[in-house]
């Protein structure tokens, strides 16, 4: 399926990263956020990320300009009717997602695929509020999107084979990324496994078994992880990890998903990791670890 236009609703960290990646692949990317001010901030952030790549000789100035021309801000959800696929990347709030999917289901023709980037919430529930549940699917990108070349494709209860095949082809052929097919289950594969590891690492630290740096080194060096579990938590955002664990604990009722007390404390203190510059470790404005 030769898709050309992709919509992104929600321009937080993930929305920006997905928009940048798609624009680099020369798709026309329609983007929208809650307010014009937020959209302007997001475009500036994408511009800044691209400028850093230019400074490292990863892109030329001309390539940067071309990428930005592929990203178009739109003021109304009606504009997404001309897209081949719309990806939702708003906050992990079920009610907000359901309201958005109800509106997208109304304005987008039946052939437009509606996707959610949720890491824990139900694709089936998002589909239920639309008029054509068979075209709703989950596309869970992993941050950083431009370097993690894998996408979980989550099939809801009513997602049909045509939609699943089309999205898999889009990921593997259009984006040149690995598609991991998953049947809907809270946390899917990646979130369910990594959040359990992070939570256990928090318990190890809380019990005084080892220092955060040593916990991470043990897993990074001993098992070949790019980052240790605590730095992973920082990079995911401790608030996102907490929300994911709470969702899985609520769904499964298994104590292994009950968030560690320290995680709740750090979120309350707004020590969220890279996004605030302070989590288990400290980070500069570029997201590089200071210590």
CA distances to 105, 211, 256 from 198, in Å:
36, 14, 11
Global pTM value? 0.92
Q: What residues are paired with 86 via a beta bridge?
A: 7, 114
| Separation of alpha carbons 80 and 133, rounded Å | 17
**E strand segments, 156-240:** 178-183
Tens of pLDDT, residues 93-123: 999 999 999 999 999 999 999 999 998 899 9
3-state secondary structure of 227: coil
* Nearest in space to 214 (alpha carbons), one of 205, 203, 224: 205
Residues 275-290, mean pLDDT to the nearest whole number:
91
Does the pLDDT at position 233 exceed 90? Answer: yes
State residue 286's pLDDT score.
77
3-state secondary structure of 6: strand
Which two structure tokens, joined as six digits, stand for 243? 């929300």
Which two structure tokens, joined as six digits, stand for 63? 């390539």
State residue 1's pLDDT score.
60
The proportion of the chain whose per-residue pLDDT surpasses 70, expressed as a percent, equals: 99
| Separation of alpha carbons 9 and 15, rounded Å | 7
Tens of pLDDT, residues 140-190: 999 889 889 999 999 999 999 999 999 999 999 999 999 999 999 999 999
- Give the dihedral of Cα atoms 119, 125, 131, 133; nearest 10 deg: 70
Which two structure tokens, joined as six digits, stand for 171? 């990921």
Domains defined for the chain, CATH in brackets: 5-183 (3.40.50.720), 191-268 (1.10.1040.50)
**41 pLDDT band (50/70/90 cuts)?**
very high
């Amino acid at each position: 399926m030769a898709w050309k236009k992709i919509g992104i609703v929600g321009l937080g960290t993930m929305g920006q990263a997905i928009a940048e990646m798609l624009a680099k692949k020369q798709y026309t990317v329609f983007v929208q956020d809650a307010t014009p001010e937020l959209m302007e901030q997001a475009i500036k952030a994408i511009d800044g990320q691209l400028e850093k790549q230019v400074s490292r000789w990863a892109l030329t100035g001309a390539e940067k300009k071309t990428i930005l021309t592929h990203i178009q801000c739109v003021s109304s959800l009606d504009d997404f009717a001309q897209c081949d696929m719309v990806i939702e990347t708003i906050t992990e709030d079920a009610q907000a997602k359901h309201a958005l999917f109800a509106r997208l289901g109304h304005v987008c023709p039946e052939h437009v695929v509606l996707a959610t980037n949720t890491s824990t919430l139900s694709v089936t529930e998002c589909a239920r509020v639309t008029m054509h549940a068979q075209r709703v699917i989950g596309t869970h990108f992993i941050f950083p999107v431009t370097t993690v070349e894998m996408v979980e494709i989550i099939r809801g209860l009513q997602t049909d084979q045509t939609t699943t095949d089309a999205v898999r082809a889009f990921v593997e052929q259009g984006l040149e990324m690995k598609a991991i097919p998953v049947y809907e289950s809270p946390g899917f594969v990646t979130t369910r496994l990594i959040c359990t590891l992070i939570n256990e690492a928090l318990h190890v630290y809380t019990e005084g078994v080892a220092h955060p740096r040593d916990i991470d080194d043990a897993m990074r060096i001993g098992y070949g992880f790019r980052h240790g579990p605590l730095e992973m938590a920082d990079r995911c955002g401790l608030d996102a990890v907490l929300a994911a664990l709470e969702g899985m604990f609520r769904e499964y009722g298994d104590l292994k998903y009950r968030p560690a007390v320290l995680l709740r404390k750090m979120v309350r203190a707004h020590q969220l990791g890279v996004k605030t510059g302070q989590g288990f470790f400290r980070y500069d404005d570029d997201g590089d670890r200071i210590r």
